[in-house]
Each structure stands twice: as structure tokens, then as C-alpha cells.
Chain A
Amino acid sequence: EAGVAQSPRYKIIEKRQSVAFWCNPISGHATLYWYQQILGQGPKLLIQFQNNGVVDDSQLPKDRFSAERLKGVDSTLKIQPAKLEDSAVYLCASSPPVGGLTEAFFGQGTRLTVV
């Protein structure tokens, strides 16, 4: 079974530039998560999708971050404009439909450096 795919693995941008991350979840997984993990901290939930709908985006800085999940499968996370404090690893995870084991499987992450 293929895992959660993320791209790119690394990205370096200047502040005020824009950047986009892509995530392809495990086939059949209804729930998709985007987390931001700053060095030395735990993953912070940015947005959680259930199929096409948003379950929670209370911690998403909506003035600069946006996310969408196309047709309930792939997802993109965009930052525009980036700030220095956005430097972090962005983790995408997916889990099976509610009712079964809801373990979240993580992708390898995208390490973003804003200079």
C-alpha cells in the first residue's frame, strides 16, 4: 500500500514570496490533515478535511494560508505572503473513514525555510 505522498521535500523562499505544498493521501482515506511542526515543538493542526469538507481550520492563519482538497483526494496548502516565522516542517497525514481505526499516517513532510 502506497503511503502519503508529499512534495516538494524541501523549499527555500524569501519572505513575502508565495509557496505551495501538495499532498496525495493513502487511497480510500477520507480524512486529511495538514500540520505545522516548528523545530522542538509538537505538530500543530492547521486544517482537517473530511472528504471535501473542512472539519477544523481554527488554527489556520487565514490572512496568509489557504488549503483546498480537490474531489476529496489530493490537497494543496498555500502560503502567501510567507513570513520568517513560517519556517517549519509541513506534515500531511491521512486516516481511514470514521468508524474504523482512525490512526493518522504521515507523509515525509516538506521542510520550508523562509529567509
Chain B
Amino acid sequence: QKEVEQNSGPLSVPEGAIASLNCTYSDRGSQSFFWYRQYSGKSPELIMFIYSNGDKEDGRFTAQLNKASQYVSLLIRDSQPSDSATYLCAAQGGKLIFGQGTELSVKP
């Protein structure tokens, strides 16, 4: 079992739609969760972090955490072509572990 697993892509959505990205983790000791965005040929950059159960909103982005289900998600509202990238979920307990990434394509 992978420590952090993301829904397989690629995910394609039309411009203006909601993109939903999902992630599960196996280490119940994980305390912090991060969503990074990675454009092709670039390094990952942080877009959201969440520590507590529930939802956290930041502009068009909403992160959701359910520790009982060991599940993290990211919703992107009003998706734009510039959101097209690979989204990486990461979980941190003692170490920072990334999932395999989900490629998102937003079509104009």
C-alpha cells in the first residue's frame, strides 16, 4: 500500500467547472497535509495546507480533511486554463511524503 495515494489522472474539466482532486494516506500519525501544484518542468509550489478536520477555503481553492477516513481532497472552483498542472498531495507525520500526483487539464 502506498503511503499517499491520489486518484489517477489525467483529469480533464471544461473552463469554469469544478475540479475535484482526491488523496488518501495510510499513516494515522500524519498531522499536516499539503497540496502542491507543479507545472511541467518546474518545482512544486504550495497552494494549500490543512491541519484540522473539515474544510479550509482560500479563494477558488477548498481543501477538505477527514482524519477518520484518512482522506484529503482539493476542490478548484471556476477552473481556468492556467490551473492546468499536476497536483501533488503530501502528508507529514515525522517525514513529508508525496503522492504520485494527478494531472489536471482545463479546456477553454
Contact = CB atoms under 8 A, between A and B. Distances in A.
B76 to A, nearest CB: 19
Interface string B36-47: 000000011110
B88 A42 contact: yes
A48 B43 contact: no
A53 interface: no
Interface string A29-53: 0000101000001111100100000
B97 interface: yes
A107 B96 contact: no
In this complex, the interface size class of chain A, counting residues with CB under 8 Å from chain B, is 20 to 34
B96 A104 contact: yes
Given A42-B98, A102-B32, A109 B43 contact: yes
B108 interface: no
B54 to A, nearest CB: 18
Contacts, number: 47
A102 B101 CA distance: 20
A45 B99 contact: no
Interface string B74-91: 000000000000001010
A35 B98 contact: yes
Point out which of B6, B34, B96 has the most chain A C-beta atoms below 10 A from its C-beta. Answer: B96
A44 B95 CA distance: 11
A23 to B, nearest CB: 12
A41 B101 contact: yes
Given A45-B97, A101-B49, A106-B45, 9 more contacts: A33-B96, A41-B100, A42-B99, A43-B98, A44-B98, A95-B96, A102-B32, A103-B46, A104-B96
